[in-house]
Amino acid sequence: MIKLLVVDDSALMRRHLGRIFQELPDFQVSFARNGAEALAAVRDQQPDVVTLDINMPEMDGLTCLSHIMTESPRPVVMVSSLTTKGAMATLEALELGAVDFIPKPDGTVSLSIDRIEADLVAKVRAAAKVRMRTRLMARRGRAAEEAAPAPKRMPAPAGGTVAGLVLIGVSTGGPGALDCVLPPLREDFRWPVLVCQHMPANFTGVLARRLDAASRVRVVEVTGPTPLQPGCAYIAKGDADMLIATRPTGLIALPTPASSRHLWHPSVDRMVFSAMEHMEPSRLIGVLMTGMGNDGAEAMAALRQKGGRTIAEAEETAVVWGMPQDLIRRGGADMVLPVQSVADQLERWVR
Contact between 151 and 143 under an 8 Å Cβ cutoff? The reply is no
The verdict on whether 171 is a catalytic residue reads yes
Give the burial class of 348: count Cβ atoms within 10 A of its Cβ; 0-12 exposed, 13-18 middle, 19 or more buried: exposed
Q: How many residues does the chain have?
A: 351
Judged by DSSP in three states, 44 sits in: helix
**Cα(31)–Cα(41) distance, rounded to whole angstroms?**
8
Q: What are phi and psi of 95, to 5 degrees?
A: -65, -30
Give the burial class of 351: count Cβ atoms within 10 A of its Cβ; 0-12 exposed, 13-18 middle, 19 or more buried: exposed
Q: Which residues contact 148 (CB under 8 A, 6 or more apart)?
A: none
Determine the angle formed by the axes of helices 84-96 and 201-214, rounding to 10 degrees: 50
Task: Please compute Rg for the chain using Cα positions.
Answer: 20
Contact between 84 and 92 under an 8 Å Cβ cutoff? The reply is no
User: What letter represents residue 80's amino acid?
Assistant: S
**Cα(255)–Cα(84) distance, rounded to whole angstroms?**
20
Judged by DSSP in three states, 100 sits in: strand
Contact between 164 and 191 under an 8 Å Cβ cutoff? The reply is yes
Please tell me which residue in 171, 215, 267, 274 is annotated as part of the active site.
171
Q: Which residues contact 147 (CB under 8 A, 6 or more apart)?
A: none
Give the burial class of 224: count Cβ atoms within 10 A of its Cβ; 0-12 exposed, 13-18 middle, 19 or more buried: exposed
**Cα(312)–Cα(250) distance, rounded to whole angstroms?**
29
Please tell me which residue in 198, 241, 265, 326 is annotated as part of the active site.
198
In the chain the first and final C-alpha atoms are separated, in Å, by 50
The verdict on whether 198 is a catalytic residue reads yes
Catalytic residue numbers, as ranges: 171, 198, 295
